[in-house]
Amino acid sequence: MSFKFSLQYFTLTVLLFIAEVCIGLYMHDAFIRPYGGDYLVVILIYCFIKSFMNTPVGVTAICVLLFAYAVEVSQYFHLVYALGLGKSPLAKALLGTSFSFVDLLCYTLGIITVLVAEQLKASLKNF
């Protein structure tokens, strides 16, 4: 692992962050709001890490997925309330408050998308 700034990943991070904010503020539907944000958040975290660190694709993707799973499992145990942060809108937004198996699926699909995109990127580089 080495520290190396990547403008490409940083640009993607910023665009994904803007998309997440827009979903959070303006989407009030039954599909994009509950599932799209969860799908994109793991891609956002992956791109953020790759913006500053030259880490292996597979290791980074698995670590991001495990982190997302851990946050989701913490929701099952109501960690935000156990930590006394239940009145903090920011803590509730970041940690979440309700567990869902579907969220785990969305995170998994997001990371699969990352792996496919990285494989395509590597294939095009070698082409």
Per-residue pLDDT, 16: 98
Is pTM beyond 0.85? Reply is: yes
Positions in the chain short of pLDDT 70: none
Token pair in block for residue 62:
């698995």
Distance of alpha carbon 96 from alpha carbon 80, whole angstroms: 7
Per-residue pLDDT, 79: 94
Q: How far is CA 72 from the centre of its chain?
A: 12
Per-residue pLDDT, 93: 85
Distance of alpha carbon 99 from alpha carbon 86, whole angstroms: 15
Instruction: Give the three-class secondary structure for 97.
Output: coil
Per-residue pLDDT, 94: 85
Per-residue pLDDT, 1: 73
Q: How far is CA 55 from the centre of its chain?
A: 17
